[in-house]
Copies of this chain bind each other. A is one copy, B any other.
Amino acid sequence: MVTYDAAQLDLTDDQVDRIFRALADATRRDIIGRTLTEESSISELAHRYEMSFAAVRKHITVLEEAQLVCTHRSGRERRIRGNPEHLQKAQALLTTYERLWRERIDRLDALLAED
């Protein structure tokens, strides 16, 4: 595929899939928001949500694979931190659509101007 999307951003379709997939869950979006403003451990995060540690761990794995968060172990903890770069790539993708849309408007305007 790679027609309207990732071309400009050196992201494969697969990577783009993973990014949007990861964003498609409220808990994961919340984790992104929190770790973007403040680094956090898994269990700190797990306390905030009504689900098991294991469930939160899985969400973090999904976010890691989408590169929307970075993690590193520090002692017995794993610290999680939001990764703004990859978020900006997602944003840039949506901007691509906006550009397409504007081009369409411009073409319609041009057509109208001809008459």
Contact = CB atoms under 8 A, between A and B. Distances in A.
A44 interface: no
A26 B38 contact: no
A87 B94 contact: yes
Interface in A16-49: 16-21, 23-27, 29-30, 32-34, 36-38
Copies in the complex: 2
A24 B32 contact: no
Describe A's contact surface by its main secondary structure. Answer: helix
Contacts of A29: 1, 4-5, 16
Contacts of A27: 1
A97 B87 contact: yes
Given A20-B24, A21-B24, A95-B91, A34 B84 contact: no
